[in-house]
Chain A
Amino acid sequence: MTELTQVGDISDSAGERAVARRTVYVYQAPVRIWHWVNALCMVTLFVTGYLIATPPDSVTGEAYNHFQMGYIRFVHFAAGQTMAAMFLLRIYWAFMGNAHASQIFYIPFWRLDFWKGVLHEIRWYAFLEKYPKQYIGHNPLAHTMMFGVFTLGTLFMIVTGFALYSEGAGRESWQYKMFGWVFSIFPNSQDVHTYHHLGMWVLVSFTILHIYAAVREDIMSRQSIISSMISGERQFRDEDA
């Protein structure tokens, strides 16, 4: 453990000097911005996606005066395209950013200590470990979730989303040219709807778990979590005995 520095010029009213904790810059600004924009897009996609499949009660009067379903779908497509564009930028940043920036795009499959770490985290969540380990980036279990559920899940939603979009955009659209192959796997687009829809619930479940884990670990794992995604800095709270 590196030593803690007593910060001389900060003290409390009783005169006790504050402890300066080790702080690492983990999430660079692009990642943070991306994170919050993406989160916003996704929540929007959840709401509008659900409404696409289960529209609100009918509006009355002539069709000419309304565009309710149209707006819902428009917002969905706008959020979807934003999310997709941001995802591309995020991939770009995986190469350009720091080491943590690429973490969600791969799994160190062949590293034994990684899987040991996963096991440790599982035991920690199962209350079998007394103390959590500390990580600068995502802990191995979170890492696995991030890649396996979030990254692949989002990719799946983007691919199926654009395939669905191409149905309206037409056979000559770039969307069909790029994503039409989805219909070679699922010739009936009703299936694509079904899987796209199921994908939403996977991501909703991820989000619930994710927010819970963020709050919990913020409290339990003796390091900053939520604020890290705002400031970018991870602070380790332990003091040496």
Chain B
Amino acid sequence: MSVAETFYEVIRRQGITRRSFTKFCSLTAASMGLGATGAAKVAQALETKPRVPVIWMHGLECTCCSESFIRSAHPLVKDVVLSMISLDYDDTIMAAAGFQADAILKETREKYKGQYILAVEGNPPLNEGGMFCIDGGRPFVEKLKEMAADASAIIAWGACASWGCVQAAKPNPTQATPIDKVITDKPIIKVPGCPPIAEVMTGVVTFITTFGRLPELDRQGRPQMFYSQRIHDKCYRRPHFDAGQFVEQWDDENARQGRCLYKMGCKGPTTYNACSTVRWNNGVSFPIQSGHGCIGCSEDGFWDKGPFYERLSNINQFGVEANADKVGMAAAATVGVAVAAHAAITAVSRVKVKHDGKAPPKA
């Protein structure tokens, strides 16, 4: 068998019937919100394409994006890896190590120039010549750029690759940098989240392999199918928000009745992600459903928009840390006090210099 074997051939030879194949296609289409015509497209694409090589690289990160990926329930990750893509390189699970692993990168660049997908988890640090993340004795950033040069498309997994994530939180000691700041000549699909939802991850990959094109991206480079609505707008606790019913304290009666977590610092109103719709781990729950506010984990720089348990972010200006209300009230109070003082001085001086109704002397 050649490299050009298609996904359909693979699963037919596995004894999967035409019928269950069609069913699979419509489920995939439905999970991506593609409707009835989508299913036919999915089927057609899977029948005609060989498996796309995917190179999955790791920079500075915590590997939770990989962990999330393997939780995918539809499709199952074993089916993704065995039948939908060809995951030729992924340091976390691959059999080969050392130079045998490196050889795969070289081979892929030559054999599949312009045809492979580069999936990046984590990000490159730029301080110390990049040596806060060393791969094969060299800075990760070099390897990343090399592999990006010949990729057809690049996926930025998670908050790390998309925005910088925890290592880029202030003061970002390693100068960890989102990948779109070092790869500027290629389309990059950001799939943010810390980590992203498993089915969103597999949904994005299979979208590309199925439709042979990149998903529609929004202004911030995220697939709009999964990231165009806020947690808040699809949150099942929203009626309590509108009603003005909030959890006022952890484990209070409001909490037990599932009221809105806004006052506990929920960042759902400023967070774009699929959690309140797709939910986590095959739809079992999501942060808010389990009683904790959203911390905004799919948003740019969310680590520095805390504290997590307050509605208002702290801003750190002039070495003092306070939120907009504290800063604003202090400013307004200062103005108020100054005005009062000014008024007092004015009154005193007015007693001294009685207004004589005369015009001032000409200058």
Do A and B make up one complex?
yes
Binding site for B on A (CB under 8 A): 1, 50, 53-60, 63-70, 72, 125, 127, 130-132, 167-168, 170-171, 180-181, 183-184, 187-194, 197-198, 200-202, 204-205, 208-209, 212, 216, 219-220, 222, 237-241
B290-328 contact mask (Cβ, 8 Å, vs A): 1 or 0: 000000100111100100000111010000000111011
**Is A220 within 8 A of B350, CB to CB?**
yes
Given the known interface contacts A57-B248, A59-B244, A68-B243, the answer about A208 and B332 at a Cβ–Cβ threshold of 8 Å is: yes
A69, A190, A240: the one contacting B270 at CB < 8 Å is A190
**Is A171 within 8 A of B228, CB to CB?**
yes
B338-362 contact mask (Cβ, 8 Å, vs A): 1 or 0: 0100110110011001010111110
**Is B270 within 8 A of A189, CB to CB?**
yes
Given the known interface contacts A197-B325, A222-B355, the answer about A58 and B343 at a Cβ–Cβ threshold of 8 Å is: no
Instruction: Please provide the 4 A-B residue pairs with the shortest distance between their CB atoms, ordered closest to farther.
Output: A201-B328, A68-B244, A131-B360, A66-B243
* Complex contacts, B281 vs chain A, CB 8 Å: none
Q: Does B259 contact A (CB under 8 A)?
A: yes
Given the known interface contacts A201-B329, A208-B332, the answer about A63 and B239 at a Cβ–Cβ threshold of 8 Å is: yes
State A67–B240 Cα separation when bound (angstroms): 9
Q: Does B40 contact A (CB under 8 A)?
A: no
**Is B312 within 8 A of A197, CB to CB?**
yes
* Complex contacts, B140 vs chain A, CB 8 Å: none
**Is A205 within 8 A of B332, CB to CB?**
yes
**Is B335 within 8 A of A188, CB to CB?**
no
Q: Does B262 contact A (CB under 8 A)?
A: yes
**Is B328 within 8 A of A190, CB to CB?**
no
Given the known interface contacts A57-B248, A188-B296, A241-B359, the answer about A69 and B220 at a Cβ–Cβ threshold of 8 Å is: no
**Is B327 within 8 A of A198, CB to CB?**
yes
A1, A63, A72, A189: the one contacting B240 at CB < 8 Å is A63
**Is B219 within 8 A of A180, CB to CB?**
yes
Which of B219, B267, B349 has the largest number of chain A CB atoms within 10 A? Answer: B219
State A125–B349 Cα separation when bound (angstroms): 12
Q: In the complex, what residue of chain A is closest to B334 when comparing beta carbons?
A: A205
**Is A70 within 8 A of B242, CB to CB?**
yes
**Is A208 within 8 A of B339, CB to CB?**
yes
What is the distance, in angstroms, from B343's C-beta to the closest C-beta of chain A?
7
B85-121 contact mask (Cβ, 8 Å, vs A): 1 or 0: 0000000000000000000000000000000000000
If over half of A's interface residues share one DSSP class (helix, strand or loop), that class is named, otherwise mixed; here it is helix
Q: In the complex, what residue of chain B is closest to A68 when comparing beta carbons?
A: B244
What is the distance, in angstroms, from A64's C-beta to the closest C-beta of chain B?
7
**Is A209 within 8 A of B219, CB to CB?**
no
**Is A200 within 8 A of B357, CB to CB?**
no
Q: A66-B242, A67-B242, A188-B299 are in contact. List 13 more A-B contacts (CB 8 A).
A: A58-B259, A132-B360, A187-B299, A190-B305, A194-B305, A198-B315, A198-B327, A201-B332, A220-B355, A239-B358, A239-B359, A240-B358, A240-B359
Given the known interface contacts A194-B315, A238-B357, A241-B358, the answer about A125 and B302 at a Cβ–Cβ threshold of 8 Å is: no
**Is B312 within 8 A of A183, CB to CB?**
no
* Complex contacts, A130 vs chain B, CB 8 Å: 353, 360
Q: Does B241 contact A (CB under 8 A)?
A: yes
**Is A67 within 8 A of B359, CB to CB?**
no
What is the distance, in angstroms, from A90's C-beta to the closest C-beta of chain B?
25
Q: List 11 A-B contacts (CB under 8 A).
A: A53-B325, A58-B246, A60-B245, A63-B243, A63-B245, A66-B243, A67-B243, A181-B219, A194-B323, A202-B328, A239-B357
Which of A63, A125, A127, A237 has the largest number of chain B CB atoms within 10 A? Answer: A63
* Complex contacts, B289 vs chain A, CB 8 Å: none
State A180–B220 Cα separation when bound (angstroms): 11
* Complex contacts, B243 vs chain A, CB 8 Å: 59, 63-70
State A197–B310 Cα separation when bound (angstroms): 14
B263, B267, B269: the one contacting A55 at CB < 8 Å is B263
**Is A188 within 8 A of B242, CB to CB?**
no
**Is B248 within 8 A of A205, CB to CB?**
no
State A190–B301 Cα separation when bound (angstroms): 10
